[in-house]
Amino acid sequence: MHKIRKISLFVIFILLIFVGYKYLSLSGLLKKTNISIGDKSKSVKNNSTLSSKKPFSVLLLGTDTGDLGRTDKGRTDTLMIVTVNPKKKTTTMVSIPRDTMVAIPGLEDTFPQKINAVYTFTDLNQTVNDISKYLNVPINFVALVNMGGLIKMVDKVGGVKVKSPLSFAYNPYTAHDTGNDLYKFIKGSTSYYHTTNGVDWTKHKTMFGNAALAFTRMCYDDPLGDYGRM
């Protein structure tokens, strides 16, 4: 079993959303925890796969909307395929770079497009089907969450502690280390600092929703850019 040392908070909590329908009860937050793909017969087949403990794949999608004043449909800037083998007790996680160039079926005249725009131009069902065909990987389920959903989930479980792999400051409104609403993370530490006026810094030992969102969205200060964030 692979030991993945650096997994973003986003992945952890999108997985919580997926498994929540069976193992968690978070006071009504998990109203719709997994969405079967395709027609009813395929839905029944997918549920049978879970019951028989056969391997299954989940497409995890995270949109850049739902908070920070964003109310549009958004783009799926986070795309991951998680394949679970219950009998072997293994989980494989593969990130799909959001800038991967694709031709969207039915919209070939808009080529080139980034893969994170498939959902923006089409719908959830076509997004799953297109990614499945593009990678030649069957997808049984999909979990979709936006930035607001991530904040609510982290707050609902009482926050989390994450040891930051880098030292950086991030403002969720500017996407850089500028402005007053700054979060500062320290390499090797689970604590972080926050200021709303650029002067008075408050130390926190537990990372709640807004801080978690800031932590997962930073990519410009990562030496590996978006690959590092993934």
What would the pLDDT profile of 56-86 be if each residue is shown by its tens digit?
Answer: 999 999 999 999 999 999 999 999 999 999 9
**What is the model's pLDDT at position 38?**
56
**What is the model's pLDDT at position 41?**
55
Nearest-angstrom CA–CA distance, 68 and 172? 8
Is the Cβ–Cβ distance between 86 and 52 less than 8 Å?
A: no
pLDDT band at 158 (very low <50, low <70, confident <90, very high): very high
pLDDT band at 21 (very low <50, low <70, confident <90, very high): very low
**What is the model's pLDDT at position 221?**
87
Packed helices 147-156 and 209-217: angle between N→C axes, nearest 10 degrees: 130
**What is the model's pLDDT at position 226?**
80
Nearest-angstrom CA–CA distance, 93 and 78? 13
Cβ-Cβ contacts under 8 Å for 49 (sequence gap 6 or more): 55, 56, 140
pLDDT band at 45 (very low <50, low <70, confident <90, very high): low
Cβ-Cβ contacts under 8 Å for 45 (sequence gap 6 or more): none
pTM metric for this prediction = 0.78
pLDDT band at 23 (very low <50, low <70, confident <90, very high): very low
Angle at 138 between CA 103 and CA 45, to 5 degrees: 135
**pLDDT per residue over 96-107, tens digit each?**
999 999 999 999
**What is the model's pLDDT at position 228?**
81
Nearest-angstrom CA–CA distance, 63 and 92? 22
Cβ-Cβ contacts under 8 Å for 54 (sequence gap 6 or more): 86, 87
CA nearest neighbour of 91 among 148, 7, 29, 27: 7
Flag whether pLDDT at 19 surpasses 50.
Answer: no
**What is the model's pLDDT at position 127?**
95
